[in-house]
Amino acid sequence: MFISSQDSPATFQGFTLVMPAVAVGNVGQLAVDLIVSTLNMRRVGYFHTDCLIPMAGNNPYASGKADAEELHTPAEVYTAAELKLAVLQIRAPIIQTRSKKFRQQLKSWIKASGFSRTVVLSSSHAYQRDDQQLQGTSLRYLMTPSLLAASADALKELGWREMERIPAFPGVDAEPRLCIPGGGITKGLYTDGCAEDLPLAVLLLFCSEGDNIPDAFALVNHLNDWLHLLDGQSEEPKSKWKIPTSWSLLFGSGIPPALF
Amino acid sequence: PVSNKSEVFLLRTVHLHWNPEVSELLRAGNKVQCSSFILAVGHNAASFLSVYILASANWDAVGRGVAWNERSRSGTGPSGEGSACVFYRHKDEPAVLICHVTCHIAEDQLFQWTEKVFGYLQTRGLTVTVLSDSSVADYKTADYLCSSSAPFLRSLRSSAFSDQPVCQSLEQPNIITGLPAAVLNHCQVHSIAAVVYQCYSDVTGPDSITMDKYKPVLTKLGRSIQVDSSRSTDVLRNFVRSSEIQSNLYI
């Protein structure tokens, strides 16, 4: 459930919510890190749930000694009120048996908060693409009917590709279905969103595990093409996203010199 | 042997068993008065508290926690034998509570354990101190750590903790997980003052040098309870000896 970290509770009415799915390469989560870090978003509360593996650490977006020692939890909500933007960052895996419960907790909170739309940043296993998906851009989108109605023009201008329905078992079962392998709760959120008439969009990239920082940049740039989050910033493109201070030692500690 | 998911779910439920006095208090709808809650997670942390604090014999064992999971050894079954999670209360200062946790609490039980324990405590004015064993293999640093730097202490505190920790704060990009993280999350979200002292050691089992690393914490704990800092490291070695015999595979 959402617990405010401030004296006066935050209001999200009419805001856009951007959240990641814990998915292959953690691309959605890395992209959200870039958004929070670049827009200097303020933490307004915690998403306190028994569905995530507990973890804690100091401020991942610290800009100096002054704000370095601030404790952060597995799921937190940040806002940039001037952009009417709210972001939920998820830093830990979902406990295996609690996937559905977590989706329900998210949906309840989204409905209760009055977000105008929700954008889920996600990813899917590149190696499971079928022949047609191998060609062209690795970006895909999905939109629930209620959001599609409002965003049809923007989508046409962006020229994005909708996630294809493909046969789950080619040769055996030719029925095209929506499959998002490696996407965590992405598919569940989307199908629930359609069923419950939530204005929800999914933006995902095909990728593999590895150094996913370029994927994060790609995803967040695509998101920016639609939501224009950086319009207020004065920097020119490409150098505009600010890497958080916590993005260090992603592949482990320094190497012992005696190894060579 | 279990036959279905709901049975396993019930078996994995965290249970807290209190002594008659505390049970009576809780039954009457009250909470346990607590100004200082000290939690030791891991053998070295628990042994350290045993030597420097619990050895003064002014403590009563008032409760026991049971969290059965796939790593529970036989003898600590769901019915709760075994003493891997024990609560102690000071006889003269009943508002000071100590808890030893030397068993593994699974990922899906951490939140439940924390909510249940804190659900019994009166949290206004409460300060929580957690001592936690960890492996130096989990510590990330740009400069390669040579073995002489371990063991060492790092701290993490909740926003409500206004005192000064006894050691350096945990640097980016390091994080903590497990029970210390679950407790710290709870305290952060509910504005309870809490500090975790994580000891990174290159020794996996009980080790007197690692235990000794927690000594600076005594200066803070000594304000609310009597500590015996005159105890020498030899006493700590007694705690280590009993487990060394089991494995001489890696000398």
- Is residue A7 over pLDDT 90? no
> Tens of pLDDT along A206-233?
999 999 999 999 999 999 999 999 876 6
Min Cα separation B58/chain A (Å): 34
A208 to A86, A119, A128, A189: CA distances (angstroms): 28, 22, 10, 22
The DSSP code for B3 is -
> Tens of pLDDT along A247-257?
999 888 888 88
Name the closest residue on chain A to residue B111, using Cα atoms.
A50
> Tens of pLDDT along A153-166?
999 899 999 999 98
Under 8 Å between Cβ of A19 and A120: yes
Name the closest residue on chain A to residue B188, using Cα atoms.
A71
Q: How far apart are CA A31 and CA A221, in angstroms?
A: 9
Average pLDDT over residues A59-63: 94
Name the closest residue on chain A to residue B190, using Cα atoms.
A3
Q: What is the pLDDT of residue A231?
A: 79
Q: How many CB atoms lie within 10 A of CB A131?
A: 8
Strand pairing partners for A213? Answer: none
**Confidence band (pLDDT; 50, 70, 90) for B228?**
low
A172 — contact with chain B (CB < 8 Å)?
no
B172 — contact with chain A (CB < 8 Å)?
yes
Indicate the residue of B107, B190, B196 with minimum beta-carbon distance to A95. B107
Average pLDDT over residues B222-231: 67
Amino acid symbol at A11: T
Average pLDDT over residues A37-55: 96
- Is residue B11 over pLDDT 90? no
- Is residue A237 over pLDDT 70? no
Name the closest residue on chain A to residue B179, using Cα atoms.
A54
Contact list, B184 vs chain A (CB under 8 Å): 56, 71
- Is residue B1 over pLDDT 80? no
Q: Answer whether A48 sits within 8 Å of B178, measured CB to CB.
A: no
Contact list, A95 vs chain B (CB under 8 Å): 107-108
Q: What is the pLDDT of residue B81?
A: 46
What CATH code is carried by the domain that includes residue B177? 3.40.50.10900
Min Cα separation B162/chain A (Å): 12
**A23 or B150: which leads in pLDDT:** A23
Q: Answer whether B172 sits within 8 Å of A245, measured CB to CB.
A: yes
A63 — contact with chain B (CB < 8 Å)?
no
Residue in the structure block whose two tokens are 């909170």: A109
Contact list, A55 vs chain B (CB under 8 Å): 175-177, 181
Q: How far apart are CA A215 and CA A208, in angstroms?
A: 9
- Is residue A244 over pLDDT 60? yes
**B80 or A15: which leads in pLDDT:** A15
Q: H or E stretch including B193?
A: strand B193-201
Structural domain of residue B235, as residue ranges?
A: 2-247
Average pLDDT over residues A88-98: 96
Q: What is the pLDDT of residue B216?
A: 92
**A8 or B66: which leads in pLDDT:** B66
Amino acid symbol at A150: A
Q: What is the pLDDT of residue A4?
A: 93
Question: What's the distance, Cα to Cα, between the start and end of chain B in Å?
Answer: 38
Domain count within chain B: 1
Indicate the residue of A73, A250, A257 with minimum beta-carbon distance to B188. A73
* Check: complex ipTM more than 0.90: yes
- Is residue B82 over pLDDT 60? no
| pLDDT-above-70 percentage for chain A | 97
Q: Answer whether B175 sits within 8 Å of A71, measured CB to CB.
A: no
Amino acid symbol at A26: N
Give chain A's mean pLDDT: 93
Average pLDDT over residues A187-215: 96
Q: How far apart are CA A33 and CA B66, in angstroms?
A: 38
**A49 or B81: which leads in pLDDT:** A49
Nearest residue to A109 (alpha-carbon basis) of A20, A1, A194? A1
> Tens of pLDDT along A67-90?
899 999 999 999 999 999 999 999
Name the closest residue on chain B to residue A75, using Cα atoms.
B185
B138 — contact with chain A (CB < 8 Å)?
no
Name the closest residue on chain B to residue A91, using Cα atoms.
B175
Contact list, A50 vs chain B (CB under 8 Å): 111-112, 115
